[in-house]
């Protein structure tokens, strides 16, 4: 692996410009991880409260060239402030924002006032100013407050506030193209058209190896916006918006039939649109994933309860039915709000699937490293948004893609015909009148059933109403592996004959324009010959005899038989007919940009901060594709987070393996067919936890793969990456190097006391007359970052070290990412993004550390980097360099030492210590606040005895509140006793040892919920046991106690008033299928923006006197 920073050992000092070059190299890559980096010469951030930089944006260049030359003669009129008018015109032409601190508006008023009465130029200036002021506000308004407009209506009404019925279910189809071309009085029979140029005679796999899954998603999209009324073909019974009506229902009665009316949830593993039961079951499986996503979302919304938006009523849930007059309306409101916001979030993910997975595949962007996307939501001031949409009859025909039905799905459809319509006989000769009657009966029967009672795919539901994950995953994997057929003439399966005949008759009833008229409308040249429509001599000849002239070819037969495009990367991925490929993009833009809930009203205030982020995409992951979120949410126990099946399900896996390999991204993904992953079992009793931790033969450490992914194969020998001789040797080497100096304890204590005091002085401030600081973000997390930087000579940017590379918060993010990705990664959905971003950031840090160690190894007292970054002595500067030298004496090469040992240690002993500090402090500021006076007194006592007693308080607080845990893997089948239950383990099962619960086991800790300073220190297992303790166990005890000694001195320490004085957290999901937590369980913590869930506490502000 080539070093990002190939700095050779040399004697001359590092110049600031060289450090700046290093920083600039880092800039682009690290933005993907933390979005915080700037040039090394940039001053330390001091304009924000959280230690990050404020973004800056330069004015657009060369704007003066855009200014109207007519202003040049103003000086002759006595108007001297021409610069004001130039600046105003610049802002208006470029759309640049005004800096109102420069009083530009006031200067404009002064300038306008100086023009003489009747001046034409003065009138233009005044008129322009008035126009600008008027246009500042929308006329009429595009977004309203009020319950009626807050959420999507069930039938699509009120989406457009100007035209509330546009796009509403039950409205007539629009017409896109006027049919001005006179057609022959007698058109060919649809039966003849199908039998000659449509029926399948070619079985050709799709040229881009698109899977059937793309067409399953297309089927959902089509049925989302098209539902022709059987009684009147002119009307569509569903809305013209992509609002997931196939899942939720086309109108209020359908929607109510889908809902449980409790906690915002919908009925499990079902969907509203009965027509899709007659499609290959992969279509329904996708809808079931959206169903599960919705129910998961409303669960999380309720747990987060942002700003009290989803606070349940204080009364007990009513025992009567929801339609009973006695049912408490507050519970109805609670359910309604959760359901509606959950629907907005689910639709937000759905639209991103369409734009960033589906459309990218259609354009073959999935086979590139480009981040570009055709996103209609772009900010284009001149193009209206949220204006509404009404689907047209023509596009009902554009989206009939039966040619692409795979061979497998063709067989499935034949079997469906035989089981559903045996009385109709052969589908190739069946009468369409009989089919319409029989299909209507079947549809009415399905619609009369509760959605959860309708049979689906031959699968059986469990007691919870769900299908088994194994069945659904197997179905989806088969569908992802199933290559679709190609587009073009003579490719529609014969079993679809009556459906296509009905389509042609429907198109004639709509009187749609011809193929050539449709093409001209979209700016395409009309076909002048039949060979232009399709170069296949047979097809061209058949069309000639059917229609006589290219201008007479009807729209629908023309779209089906027109020649298909050839693949182009990027550009042509779907490769349908030429006309379809053009028209479908226009419709996609109209559907999304015209939807108020995807444009004007798509923001965190509608979806909540967390919901907005949950549906969002990230171009650093799969170039923005987001399908993996849906799969991992629905099936967390089957798909590896990096499975190509879920990251690129719209193209068959074998094709994507070739593509990703060519793009040099192949190793980032797994190409194995998914299957049920080893079960996760949770162990909570102290005795069993201890037994498992000490039995390294039966229960092995299972983080070596994650370590190797982040740090390379060198990390597999890291002391806690696996069990065995190599890891034991690693531990011994690191312990001897770190603890060789008997003074380590006093040095660590001194460092943490000095650093905590220094951070407290730097980061605290006055709010009115109160002292205040963010004790977690700015003290607890950062103290450990400073320690790691000093200990391992990391290039941290501080006031004393302005040439450092990483700011405090950047370094913390890297270390937190490393720990989570390797040691405690329980969130499948966010696992892959976490690993990808952490790997990039760790590579940046590791290359710098390697360059540093290389120079120390070459014989320098200090490396050039350290001399530049650490110009002044520090308590641990000598310690850190000598530590590296002691490790080098082992004979280990530099790369092995850095990537196999140093970085692993940095990641294993930083963020988790910050977490433990935060959890312990929170306990003593809340539940254990009665102990604060004693802690305050001990903190002010400088005796060794007081320090030892204070350590007891710290260890008890950590025992009661420290949410630590470790994973092990069973090497063989066995049974273990966990409290009162017996747990069966299979070989390969993952075991989560709940140290949090074990630390409250009353068998070991009498009165487990009380602080007891007499407990033996060796009984604490918060940091592990024996050979599998984190290396920094001794360091951690001293460090946390030293920090408490500084913080504990603060008089009347207390959380600040209001929301900022709280740590926001929610119960973490329980990983054991069908199980429930035994004893205390873990939390996930909200970021400061409340937009993400994270393993570590992020913020809590405190005051003191």
Residues at the annotated binding site for heme b? 402
3-state secondary structure of 311: coil
Q: Which of 455, 446, 451 is nearest to 254 (CA)?
A: 451
Distance between CA atoms of 553 and 17, rounded to whole angstroms? 69
CA 728-732-738 angle, to 5 degrees, is 140
Which single residue is written with the structure tokens 């040095």?
747
Phi and psi angles of residue 1093, each rounded to the nearest 5 degrees, phi first = -105, 135
Cβ contact 484:401 at 8 Å: no
Cβ contact 173:235 at 8 Å: yes
1096-to-466, 817, 1043, 1044 alpha-carbon distances in Å: 33, 10, 18, 19
- Look up residue 492 and give its DSSP letter: B
How many other CB atoms sit within 10 Å of the CB of residue 654?
13
- What's the full length of the chain, in residues? 1105
- What does the block give as tokens for 606? 């509608």
Which single residue is written with the structure tokens 């324009």?
513
Element of type H or E holding 680? strand 680-683
> How deeply is 327 buried, as exposed, middle or buried, from its count of CB atoms within 10 A (0-12, 13-18, 19+)?
middle
Exactly one of 151, 399, 648, 1085 is catalytic; name it: 399
- Look up residue 481 and give its DSSP letter: H
**399 classed as catalytic:** yes
Distance between CA atoms of 348 and 1062, rounded to whole angstroms? 30
Q: HSE-up of 195 (CA within 13 Å, CB side)?
A: 8
- Look up residue 774 and give its DSSP letter: E
Distance between CA atoms of 69 and 90, rounded to whole angstroms? 12
Distance between CA atoms of 976 and 51, rounded to whole angstroms? 48
Distance between CA atoms of 715 and 705, rounded to whole angstroms? 9
Residues 6+ apart with CB under 8 A from 760: 773, 779, 1046, 1047
Strand order in the sheet with 770-774: 765-767, 770-774, 1101-1104, 1054-1055
Residue ranges at the known binding site: 402
Distance between CA atoms of 771 and 1105, rounded to whole angstroms? 7
Using the CB atoms, write b or e for 532-546: b if 16+ within 10 Å: bbbebeebbebbbeb
925-to-85, 241, 675, 913, 1096 alpha-carbon distances in Å: 59, 51, 46, 18, 18
Residue ranges of alpha helices (H) inside 180-251 are 190-193, 212-225, 245-248
> What residues are labeled active site?
399
């Amino acid at each position: 692996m080539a070093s990002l920073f190939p700095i050779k050992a040399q004697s001359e000092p590092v110049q600031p410009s060289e450090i700046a070059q290093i920083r600039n190299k880092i800039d682009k890559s690290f933005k993907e991880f933390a979005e915080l980096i700037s040039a090394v010469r940039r001053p330390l951030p001091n304009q924000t409260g959280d230690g990050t930089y404020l973004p800056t944006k330069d004015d657009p260049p060369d704007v003066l060239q855009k200014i109207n030359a007519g202003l040049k003669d103003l000086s002759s009129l006595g108007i001297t402030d021409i610069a004001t008018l130039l600046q105003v015109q610049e802002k208006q032409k470029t759309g640049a924002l005004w800096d109102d601190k420069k009083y530009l508006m006031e200067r404009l008023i002064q300038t306008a006032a100086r023009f003489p009465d009747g001046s034409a130029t003065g009138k233009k200036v005044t008129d322009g100013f008035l126009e600008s002021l008027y246009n500042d506000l929308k006329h009429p308004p595009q977004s309203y407050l009020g319950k009626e407009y807050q959420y999507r209506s069930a039938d699509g009404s009120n989406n457009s506030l100007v035209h509330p019925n546009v796009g509403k279910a039950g409205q007539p189809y629009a017409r896109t193209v006027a049919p001005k071309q006179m057609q022959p009085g007698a058109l060919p029979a649809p039966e003849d058209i199908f039998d000659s140029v449509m029926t399948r005679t070619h079985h050709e796999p799709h040229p881009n190896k698109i899977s059937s899954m793309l067409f399953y998603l297309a089927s959902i999209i089509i049925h989302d916006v098209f539902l022709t009324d059987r009684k009147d073909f002119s009307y569509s019974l569903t809305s013209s918006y992509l609002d997931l009506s196939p899942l939720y229902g086309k109108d209020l009665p359908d929607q109510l039939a889908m809902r449980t009316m409790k906690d915002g949830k919908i009925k499990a593993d079902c969907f509203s649109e009965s027509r899709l039961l007659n499609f290959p079951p992969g279509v329904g499986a996708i809808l079931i994933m959206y169903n599960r996503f919705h129910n998961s979302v409303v669960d999380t919304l309720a747990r987060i309860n942002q700003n009290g938006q989803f606070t349940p009523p204080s009364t007990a849930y009513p025992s009567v039915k929801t339609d009973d007059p006695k049912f408490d309306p507050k519970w109805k409101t609670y359910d309604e709000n959760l359901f509606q916001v959950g629907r907005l979030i689910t639709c937000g993910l759905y639209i991103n699937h369409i734009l960033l997975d589906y459309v990218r595949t259609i354009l073959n962007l999935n086979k590139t490293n480009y981040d570009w996307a055709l996103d209609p939501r772009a900010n284009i001031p001149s193009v209206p948004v949220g204006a509404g949409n009404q689907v047209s009859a023509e596009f009902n025909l554009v989206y009939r893609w039966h040619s692409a039905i795979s061979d497998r799905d063709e067989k499935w459809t034949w079997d469906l015909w035989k089981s559903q319509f045996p009385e109709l006989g052969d589908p190739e000769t069946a009468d369409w009148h009989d089919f319409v009657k029989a299909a209507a009966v079947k549809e009415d029967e399905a619609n009369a059933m509760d959605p959860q009672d309708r049979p689906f795919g031959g699968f059986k539901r469990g007691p919870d109403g769900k299908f088994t994950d194994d069945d659904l995953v197997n179905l989806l994997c088969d569908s992802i592996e199933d290559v679709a057929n190609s587009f073009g003439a003579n490719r529609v399966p014969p079993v679809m004959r009556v459906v296509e005949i009905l389509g042609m008759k429907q198109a004639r009833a709509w009187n749609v324009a011809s193929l050539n008229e449709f093409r001209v409308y979209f700016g395409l040249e009309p076909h002048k010959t039949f060979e232009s429509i399709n170069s296949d001599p047979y097809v061209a000849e058949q069309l000639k005899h059917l229609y006589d002239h290219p201008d007479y070819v009807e729209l629908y037969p023309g779209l089906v038989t027109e020649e298909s495009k050839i693949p182009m990367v990027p550009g042509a991925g779907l490769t349908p007919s030429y006309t379809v490929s053009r028209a479908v993009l226009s419709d996609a833009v109209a559907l999304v940009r015209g939807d108020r809930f995807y444009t004007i009203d798509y923001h965190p205030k509608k979806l909540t901060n967390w919901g907005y982020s949950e549906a969002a995409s990230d171009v650093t992951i799969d170039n923005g594709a987001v399908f993996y979120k849906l799969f991992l949410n629905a099936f967390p126990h089957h798909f590896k987070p990096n499975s190509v099946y879920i990251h690129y399900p719209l193209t068959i896996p074998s094709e994507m393996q070739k593509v990703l390999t060519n793009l040099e991204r192949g190793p980032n993904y797994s190409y194995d067919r998914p299957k049920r992953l080893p079960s996760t079992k949770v162990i909570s009793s102290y005795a069993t936890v201890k037994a498992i931790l000490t039995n390294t033969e039966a229960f092995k450490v299972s983080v070596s793969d994650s370590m190797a992914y982040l740090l390379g194969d060198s990390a597999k020998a890291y002391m806690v990456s696996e069990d065995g001789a190599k890891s034991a040797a690693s531990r011994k080497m690191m312990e001897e190097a770190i603890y060789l100096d008997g003074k380590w304890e006093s040095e660590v204590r001194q460092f943490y006391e000095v650093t905590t005091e220094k951070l407290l002085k730097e980061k605290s401030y006055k709010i009115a007359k109160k002292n205040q600081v963010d004790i977690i973000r700015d003290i607890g997390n950062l103290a450990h970052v400073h320690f790691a930087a000093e200990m391992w000579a990391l290039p941290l940017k501080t006031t004393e070290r302005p040439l450092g590379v990483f700011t405090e918060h950047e370094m913390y993010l890297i270390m937190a990412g490393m720990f989570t990705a390797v040691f405690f990664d329980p969130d499948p959905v966010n696992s892959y993004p976490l690993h990808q971003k952490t790997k990039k950031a760790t590579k940046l840090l590791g290359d710098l550390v390697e360059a540093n160690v290389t120079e120390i190894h070459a014989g320098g007292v200090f490396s050039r980097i350290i001399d530049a970054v650490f110009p002044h002595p520090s308590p641990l500067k000598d310690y850190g360099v000598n530590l590296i030298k002691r490790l080098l004496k082992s004979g280990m090469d530099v790369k092995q030492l850095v990537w196999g040992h140093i970085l692993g240690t940095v990641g294993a002993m930083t963020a988790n210590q910050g977490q433990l500090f935060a959890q312990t402090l929170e306990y003593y500021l809340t539940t254990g606040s009665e102990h604060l006076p004693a802690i305050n007194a001990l903190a002010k006592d400088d005796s060794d005895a007081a320090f030892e007693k204070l350590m007891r308080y710290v260890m008890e607080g950590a025992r009661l509140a420290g949410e630590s845990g470790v994973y092990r893997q069973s090497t063989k089948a066995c049974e273990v006793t966990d409290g009162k239950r017996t747990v069966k383990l299979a070989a390969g099962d993952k075991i989560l040892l709940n140290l949090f619960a074990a630390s409250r086991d009353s068998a070991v800790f009498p009165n487990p919920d009380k602080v007891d300073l007499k407990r033996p220190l060796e009984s604490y297992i918060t940091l592990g046991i024996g050979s599998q303790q984190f290396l920094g166990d001794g360091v951690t005890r001293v460090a946390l106690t030293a920090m408490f000694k500084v913080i504990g001195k603060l008089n009347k320490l207390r959380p600040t008033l209001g929301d900022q004085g709280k740590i926001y957290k929610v119960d973490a999901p329980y990983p054991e299928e069908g199980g429930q937590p035994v004893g205390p369980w873990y939390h996930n913590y909200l970021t400061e923006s409340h937009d993400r869930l994270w393993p570590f506490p992020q913020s809590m502000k405190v005051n003191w006197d």
